Amino acid sequence: MGLLILMALNCFCVMFLNKKDQTVAVVNCFGVWSAFSLMYWGGSGVSRESLSELFCVDIYSSSMISLSLWICGISILVSSCMTNLRGVFNSYLILVTLLCFLLVQCFMVNTLAMFYVLFESTLIPLASIIGIWGGQIERVPSIQYMAAYTVGGSFPLLLIFTTMEVHAGSSFMWFISMKTTSLNWLFWGGCFLGLLIKLPAFPFHAWLPKAHVQAPVGGSVILAGILLKLGGYGITRMMMLFSYTLESFGILVMSFSIVGSVYGAFMCLRQSDIKKLIAYSSVSHMAFSIMGLFSCTEVGMVGAYIMLVSHGFISPGLFVLSGINSEMVHSRKIKVMSDGVRAAPSLGFFWLVMIMANLGVPPCPVIISEVLSVVCVIALYPWVFVLLLMYFILSGAYSFSLYCQLTRTKKKIKMKVFFNEVTLKDMSALYFLFYPLAEVLFKWDLWAMM
């Protein structure tokens, strides 16, 4: 609650600054809010500061809250190219701050009904961001896809929460516990479909590449960094409700996610558009989170959350880099972007670091989550290792291919490139997205304390 009051007070103070100073002031506020949100982290259970009548925050919520504040601040920091594009930039600040406000509340609320309302309400600011600052005319169908998938998929969830409120009198998630032994896949599907679409899980991922391609840099950063994690968080809370008794439905979802990881990696191999490639790599990484979450084991939950948090830093980093690079050469094609890397060789180094982090090269925490998720899945069905091996080979292949295309392409297209297109501000944003991974690496067992 204190965090929300602090956010409201800071926003009120920022309103009285000059329009030019408001951008940096809001960015700095997000840094302060992120530091403040660290108080909510509890080593085990909940902390004294994280409990109130309306909100209760444990390790899963607090990690997502800190991530939301960090990512929303970064999205404003990297959106300077949008000041010249169209519209009023201050409205972008308002939309991102509103979106962050909704996200923080979403991760803090005690009742599932409020969680659903806030979950759906995050769609409106994001659709506005894509609609106003999106690159091309195709942004309209991409918003339609995103809205249809999200709202349509989560409508059964609304029915379930409404039924829960009517019959049980409350949807207070910390007290409700349902044990069901009857196999009713319609019920399980209704509970998890909307959340799986948000993650996104194969085969409900079609909206994500379209949304990412049409979104501006800041929109892609928020979408990849935190909005996808809403699905993972929701699944965690639903699991708590059902006391981890999914059984066959969990195995079905895990099977789809294993295939989805291989599919996502394969699609990355054949992409020429950098944003689509990063979107499909998100699909394959989120598949590992799904495997961990639906394994109904503690090891799986730890692996899933480490992936969610690490991916929340790495994927926005890739989008920031693609934004910097594509702004230099005015194209999203990977081979054309190599001209930008040739003009600013430091970009080649940043691409290498981010691609390696995305691949899961130690000491990046992604390797920990991949190992834990693989352990969970193989404990159930050892033969699944064949598919996972295919995934690891394909992910190495597309990462290597991406780096080679960015740095070693023979020049066929003549492009004009300027040296001063890469600013220290963008480099700072990349660094701010990378250094928190060290904290995730050293304190990865925090998520194992529940």
Partner 1 sequence: MATFLRRTCRLHQQMSGARRYIQRHSLRFVSTSDKKESNLSIPFTPEDIADETKRKELHKRLEEHFKDEDLNSPKNRIPYGYEENVPEVDKFNYHTVWWFWFVIPVIVGIAIFNFSLNDYGLRSWSEREARLVMEEREKKGLPYVAKNYIDPSKIELPSEEDIEAWDVKIKI
Q: Which residues of the chain form contacts with partner 1 (CB under 8 A)?
A: 20, 24, 27-28, 31-32, 34-35, 38-39, 41-48, 73, 77, 80-81, 84-85, 135-136, 326-327, 330-332, 411, 414-421, 423-426, 428, 432, 435, 439, 443, 445-446, 449
Please say whether the beta carbons of 301 and 250 come within 8 A: no
Residue 121 or 409: the one with the smaller Cβ distance to partner 1 is 409
CA–CA gap between residue 348 and residue 329 (Å, rounded): 15
Q: What own/partner pairs with CB < 8 Å and gap ≥ 24 does 295-301 have?
A: 295/250, 295/254, 295/373, 295/376, 295/377, 295/380, 296/239, 296/244, 296/245, 296/246, 296/250, 297/376, 297/379, 298/448, 298/450, 299/372, 299/375, 299/376, 300/372, 300/373, 300/376, 301/236, 301/447, 301/450
Which among 387, 214, 220 is positioned nearest to 316, based on CA atoms? 220
Residue 56 or 176: the one with the smaller Cβ distance to partner 1 is 56
Work out how close the CB of 73 gets to partner 1 at its nearest, in angstroms, rounded to a whole number. 7
Work out how close the CB of 336 gets to partner 1 at its nearest, in angstroms, rounded to a whole number. 9
Which residue's structure tokens are 């959340």?
195
Work out how close the CB of 350 gets to partner 1 at its nearest, in angstroms, rounded to a whole number. 15
DSSP assignment string, 32-74 = HHHHHHGGG--SSS--GGGB-SSBB--HHHHHHHHHHHHHHHH
Length of the chain in residues, anyone?
450
Work out how close the CB of 285 gets to partner 1 at its nearest, in angstroms, rounded to a whole number. 25
Residue 24 or 148: the one with the smaller Cβ distance to partner 1 is 24
Residue 163 or 425: the one with the smaller Cβ distance to partner 1 is 425
In this structure, the dihedral spanned by the alpha carbons of residues 208, 213, 215 and 220, taken in order and rounded to 10 degrees, is 60
Which among 331, 82, 53 is positioned nearest to 221, based on CA atoms? 82
Residue 322 or 369: the one with the smaller Cβ distance to partner 1 is 322
Work out how close the CB of 131 gets to partner 1 at its nearest, in angstroms, rounded to a whole number. 17
Work out how close the CB of 450 gets to partner 1 at its nearest, in angstroms, rounded to a whole number. 11
Within a 13 Å sphere around the CA of 219, how many CA atoms are in the beta-carbon half? 30
Cis geometry, peptide bond prior to residue 363 (ω within 30 degrees of 0)? yes
Work out how close the CB of 343 gets to partner 1 at its nearest, in angstroms, rounded to a whole number. 9
Residue 26 or 293: the one with the smaller Cβ distance to partner 1 is 26
Query: What are the structure tokens assigned to 284, written together?
Result: 């394959």
Query: What are the structure tokens assigned to 217, written together?
Result: 């840099």
Work out how close the CB of 138 gets to partner 1 at its nearest, in angstroms, rounded to a whole number. 11
Cα-Cα-Cα-Cα dihedral sign, residues 360, 364, 369, 374: positive
DSSP assignment string, 226-262 = IITHHHHHHHHHHHHHTTT--THHHHHHHHHHHHHHH
Residue 150 or 220: the one with the smaller Cβ distance to partner 1 is 220
Work out how close the CB of 115 gets to partner 1 at its nearest, in angstroms, rounded to a whole number. 24
Residue 390 or 417: the one with the smaller Cβ distance to partner 1 is 417
Please count the other Cβ atoms lying within 10 Å of the Cβ belonging to residue 310: 26
Work out how close the CB of 229 gets to partner 1 at its nearest, in angstroms, rounded to a whole number. 20
Residue 408 or 411: the one with the smaller Cβ distance to partner 1 is 411
Residue 165 or 439: the one with the smaller Cβ distance to partner 1 is 439
